[in-house]
Chain A
């Protein structure tokens, strides 16, 4: 009675074939990138040294290091975080802890999706029109970072909201029953239980922010500045723009240099993402509920 019929066998064969097809498709997405990473490492690896990372560019950027670009990227990321994390966490708290299911909430969610979906070059135009021209920050770290902050706000909001929602409702109810206000509940129960998830979101934002190029091109990043920024109203070099400049705009750059810059940039970004993912896996394993 339970013997496989011809029909069963055919079904299983088809199943096996499709399984292989989909596995192949998945690999086709991942393998090219692995190959590309390999090429970057092989061709960019030799360029990397302490000297490359920590000296000024020389001879119209055809020699020397990338120090001002590295430092500039750190400036941009830190200022962008200072601006966007408080706003993003507040927005996530509203959406997760307060928002009723109404039209306003839906509009906020739609706005978040759109902030994430608007092309980066449009964010650049916005940054130029709003921060550089209207608010008179000039082309500066402040203007560039605020542009980046607006652009990456959805990353913080979405990660924080997800993290807040993993805290079981029962925790909150227990606290409310003790007579605590909503804010007391959030501060003593919800935030402590989700702070690490929020951190992974912030790390993810660091990674996104440090790789963006278009939004900072016209708002505060300079092609070449042989000194380090002194404050938020200075212009600065940045890793991402530096890669663009030396691979397309400057003649006679020795081949290993753009590969080196690309390798450093992608290592920074992937390391940040890796930390964020590892942190998340660790937290999931440690969860008490």
Chain B
């Protein structure tokens, strides 16, 4: 070995350490894939028994009767739960999409200097409030407020959970939408301003269309957040099985059902398997939403890389 070693061959201790580290960090990177696969494998493992023995596609998606604890005829219809999640998430998006995009436009395009930095920090702090605290706010502040203002008997309903969820999802949507606006190359803005456009015209006619993909991604991630939110929805939505017909109906969400019932089921029972099946459904839907958002973000970035190049000047920052 020593006689064949080339002078440039540097397989000394440092080389081997470098190799080892390279493998270690690769393992770290792969762990993300392992975990996401692990999540799917383990929830499927617990839910498989139910899916193969008891699961009835028509009942699950078509029946609003979720009565897993009934002693003679338990039914597992998730329609009312899906409707609950959808109504709360839908209302949350109606509330928060316009405001988040408006806030993103203000922070990204209008505000400058210290105001901008302060607003960004505030939005970041909003995102930090734990969901159980939001749920508590829904329960103890929003609930009496809704009863008083709208003169309804119960304040824990779609309206309450929707507003809470809207406020929760707004910071993440604002941040991502602002990133999308920032990703639009300044050359676009400069070109429009050179034509005499006001800042509003630049924003509306140039920046927003160019950032469309990113804004769609921001909305999708907001939907994903609302869809998967657990504690706040559990505490603020009233948690009663209903196909809602007005914002003042109490509903029950998919996530909240798992959180409320899992503690009372025996491992391996049909009910237990049914809750894991809800989990599989949640996992698949959020995976699809995140995947779609990622596709949109990438589409947007590629477009700008292609078109937004500034000749020579930006090559050397």
Contact = CB atoms under 8 A, between A and B. Distances in A.
Interface of A: 11-12, 14-15, 18-19, 21-26, 28-30, 32-33, 36, 39-40, 86-95, 97-99, 105, 107-115, 117-126, 128-130, 133-134, 150, 153-154, 157, 181-184, 186, 207-208, 210-214, 217-218, 240-241, 243-244, 247-248, 258-259, 262, 265-266, 269-270, 272-274, 277, 281
A244 B256 CA distance: 13
B222 to A, nearest CB: 11
A155 B293 CA distance: 18
B68 interface: no
Contacts of A97: 25
Interface string B261-273: 0110001000000
A15 B139 contact: no
Contact of B228 (A107, A119, A274): A119
A214 B234 CA distance: 10
Closest 5 pairs (CB-CB, A-B): A90-B28, A211-B130, A119-B228, A25-B102, A22-B106
Interface string B88-109: 0000000000111011011100
23 contacts: A19-B199, A22-B106, A24-B102, A33-B126, A36-B141, A86-B28, A90-B25, A91-B28, A92-B28, A113-B294, A114-B36, A115-B36, A118-B283, A122-B279, A126-B43, A181-B14, A207-B128, A211-B128, A211-B132, A214-B230, A247-B235, A265-B133, A266-B130
Nearest to B102: A25
Interface stretch (B55-63, B166-174, B183-191, B302-310): B166-174
B98 A25 contact: yes
B221 to A, nearest CB: 7
A202 B310 CA distance: 37
Nearest to B131: A213
A136 B33 CA distance: 23
B21 to A, nearest CB: 4
Contact of A29 (B123, B130, B137, B201): B123
B152 interface: no
A14 B229 CA distance: 39
Contacts of B126: 29-30, 33
B200 to A, nearest CB: 4
Given A23-B106, A90-B25, A277 B140 contact: no
A213 B286 CA distance: 19
Of the candidates B42, B107, B123, B262, the one having the most CB atoms from chain A within 10 angstroms of its own CB is B42
Chain B interface, DSSP helix/strand/loop, else mixed: helix
Given A12-B198, A117-B287, A182-B21, 17 more contacts: A15-B200, A19-B199, A25-B99, A29-B100, A29-B170, A36-B141, A93-B25, A108-B32, A119-B286, A126-B39, A129-B43, A129-B276, A130-B38, A134-B45, A211-B129, A247-B235, A259-B140
A272 B130 CA distance: 13
Contact of B255 (A39, A98, A119): A119
Nearest to B256: A121
Nearest to B31: A87
Contacts of A186: 21
Contact of B46 (A40, A111, A129, A243): A129
A244 B22 CA distance: 44
A98 B26 contact: yes
Of the candidates A25, A88, A247, A248, the one having the most CB atoms from chain B within 10 angstroms of its own CB is A25
A94 B291 CA distance: 22
Nearest to B45: A129
Contacts of B198: 11-12, 14-15
